[in-house]
Amino acid sequence: MTDATVPADEPGFPGLAPAPAPTASQPTGYRVLARKYRPAHFGDLIGQDAMVRTLTNAFVAGRIPQAWMLTGVRGVGKTTTARILARALNYQNADGSGAPTTDLSSFGVHCQAIVEGRHIDVMEIDAASNNGVDNVRQINDAVRYAPTSARYKVYIIDEVHMLSGGAFNAFLKTLEEPPPHAKFIFATTEIRKVPVTVLSRCQRFDLRRVDAGLLVGHLGGICKAEGIEAEEEALAAISRAAEGSVRDSLSILDQAIAHAGGKITLEEVRTMLGLSDRARVIDLFEQVMKGDIAAALGELRAQYDAGADPAVVLSDLAEFSHLVTRLKLVPDAAKDNSLSQAERTRGADFAQRLSIRVLARAWQMLLKAIAEVRQADRPVMAAEMALVRLAHAADLPTPDEALRMLRDGNGEAGNGNGAPSPRPPSGGGATALAARPVLAAANPAPAVAAAPRAMANGLPQPQSLEDLVALASRQRDITMKLALERDVRLVKFEPGRIEFALANSSNRHFATDLSKRLKDWTGQTWLVALANTEGAPTLREQAEAARDKRESDAASHPVVRAVLEHFPGARIVDVRDPRAAEAEQQASATAGDDYLPEAEPLFDDSEPDFDGIEFWTDN
């Protein structure tokens, strides 16, 4: 076979070199872009730099394994990579020279036939239709014979996860100790279905989804090579629809070229794929966040009449909500080349005006609505009801505002100065997008005096069992801390002496261990004695009893009862005292770890403050 090279008149550049044209024996005609621009060497692969670097180094070092496992989603280049590997293993010049190499810029003796899938020593097997033990037995029998003309016999098994359990087991011996002239390359989209016994005998490569920005550049280069004019935003829409699959993007581009009949525009791509206008999706997002239900329903109906799928519209809304959240947390995300100018500028504006709480709520509601729309008999009606829920949720107060509204008794959220904050009518004005007033603490926590702990030899001396637990925590002795809280029933505590009873399940050597710890921690010898009396409840039991009492007191308070009545399904999950937490932080900041703050009562009969109560609802 003579040396074959890429024709000089074909357009060629990294990542976009057309595959070899069909030979004279094959019918000539139009080839789809996914086949015409199928990578023929490692330099053509896009988005798989880590794999290419690993394979290149392995070939240079001569560390070539007997089997590879290629996994990834559809259209990222698994079968193509397998053919390139077969080329690299069997590369040979016309004069008979050559060795396994990853430098495949020019075609060797066997390259043309391997790329076209017709080489006698490179067998491509579809495991979906050859998945039995008999099929594997044929491979095991044939692998013993030397290759006909190439250096290696290469078995490319696509969708290997479709093999039966018996077929996998029949493969194990051959796969672990194949003849030196045989290599195996497996490709699969379901790596979890491949037995571990097979994976352990292969070198695995996970092919990544191709980045949208890189895919846009790849499609733009192909359009330029084909002499097709295309808008960058149209290519961005194609890359988003392909979801990281190169083959899908080329198939959609092929369809777009035929659909447009000339220049590929964003409007043509939207019409072809049934996509909604990104700018109109952003307008719809703004209307929903403002609570303008009438405008939102009108916009949805207009997009539906223009051919947009309601489920796709909600998916785009969810995608934009995710984008705004990312821009809020990672502003550099705006540099993504696949984003339109409207998404960058307006998304950044929404990121500044909307809180994470509002965006997370919108995401959860949209995620649930998308599934409902896809299952509904009338999708547009389901989508409209989803927008109604979203718009009304934008008009709802946050839980802390609802508590203040109930406490004020006038239906308005207080602004911290005793005056109610105005709220727009339901579904009428700027709600989530409106700047909410900063709610000052209605009952500022009083300053708490902190009592210093006794010191001896420069080390803290615990004055109570609680101090001892805190000391164990500071010493990072979690085991001792948990034992003190869970097992100790205190009888008597004074500096230098502890007397207690132990719970039934505790360690009987606990007293000895505690005495050693106290000696190390305080520099003094402590008398640790076990008593025969029952002792007081453990700290954990006291904390559980206090928690139950707090919840009981909170549930009986008129404000909390009103919340539970106004929000069906709500329940109290925790009760906290923000004043005590703030006082503890202030005492710790001013006095360090050597001070303990005095406890504040949870409820003040004069001015109750329930900022620390958390509510959950089933909705």
The answer to whether 219 and 235 are in contact (CB under 8 A) is yes
Report the pLDDT value the prediction gives residue 619, as an integer from 0 to 100: 46
Taking the C-alpha atoms of residue 72 and residue 152, their distance in angstroms, rounded to an integer, is 26
The answer to whether 193 and 161 are in contact (CB under 8 A) is yes
Taking the C-alpha atoms of residue 341 and residue 334, their distance in angstroms, rounded to an integer, is 9
Report the pLDDT value the prediction gives residue 202, as an integer from 0 to 100: 93
Q: Which residues of 202-229 are buried (b: 16+ CB within 10 A; e: fewer)?
A: bbebebbbbbbebbbbbbebbbebbebe
For residue 577, pLDDT beyond 70:
no
Q: Which residue has the higher pLDDT, 161 or 602?
A: 161
Ranges 24-28, 277-281, 429-433, 600-604: which has the least confidence? 600-604
Same fold across 33-206 and 278-400: no
Report the pLDDT value the prediction gives residue 276, as an integer from 0 to 100: 61
Residue type, 96: G
**Mean pLDDT value across the chain:** 78
For residue 58, pLDDT beyond 80:
yes
The answer to whether 366 and 301 are in contact (CB under 8 A) is no
The DSSP code sequence of 375-402 is H-SSHHHHHHHHHHHHHHHHHSPPHHHH
- Phi and psi at residue 189, in whole multiples of 5°? -100, -5
Mind listing the pLDDT tens digit for each residue in 552-562?
887 888 878 88
Taking the C-alpha atoms of residue 492 and residue 200, their distance in angstroms, rounded to an integer, is 61
Neighbours of 195 (CB within 10 A): 14
Confidence of residue 260 (pLDDT cuts 50, 70, 90): confident
Mind listing the pLDDT tens digit for each residue in 94-108?
887 888 888 888 888
Confidence of residue 438 (pLDDT cuts 50, 70, 90): very low
For residue 239, pLDDT beyond 90:
no
For residue 452, pLDDT beyond 50:
no
Q: For 307, which DSSP code? A: T
CATH architecture under which domain 212-273 falls:
Orthogonal Bundle (1.10)
Tell me the mean pLDDT in the region 582-610: 45
Q: Which of the four CATH numbers 3.30.70.1230, 3.40.50.300, 3.30.360.10, 3.30.1950.10 does domain 33-206 have?
A: 3.40.50.300
pLDDT over 70 percentage in the chain? 76
The answer to whether 115 and 83 are in contact (CB under 8 A) is yes
Mind listing the pLDDT tens digit for each residue in 291-322?
888 999 999 998 888 778 899 889 989 999 99
Report the pLDDT value the prediction gives residue 415, as an integer from 0 to 100: 45
Q: For 6, which DSSP code? A: -
Q: Which of the four CATH numbers 1.20.272.10, 2.60.220.30, 3.40.50.2020, 1.10.3720.10 does domain 278-400 have?
A: 1.20.272.10
Mind listing the pLDDT tens digit for each residue in 157-207?
999 999 999 999 999 999 989 999 999 999 999 999 999 999 999 999 999
Q: Which residues of 424-463 are buried (b: 16+ CB within 10 A; e: fewer)?
A: eeebeebbbbeeeeebeebeebeebebeebeeeeeebbbe
The answer to whether 478 and 485 are in contact (CB under 8 A) is no
pLDDT over 90 percentage in the chain? 25
Taking the C-alpha atoms of residue 175 and residue 205, their distance in angstroms, rounded to an integer, is 17
Tell me the mean pLDDT in the region 380-402: 81
For residue 218, pLDDT beyond 70:
yes
For residue 545, pLDDT beyond 70:
yes
Confidence of residue 421 (pLDDT cuts 50, 70, 90): very low
Q: Exposed (0-12), middle (13-18) or buried (19+): which is 600, by Cβ within 10 Å?
A: middle
Q: Give me the residue label for tokens 């790849």.
A: 218
Closest CA to 577 of 541, 549, 550, 615: 550
Kindly list the domain boundaries of the chain, sorted by start residue. 33-206, 212-273, 278-400, 459-619
Report the pLDDT value the prediction gives residue 172, as an integer from 0 to 100: 92
Mind listing the pLDDT tens digit for each residue in 67-84?
999 999 888 889 999 999
Report the pLDDT value the prediction gives residue 334, as an integer from 0 to 100: 77
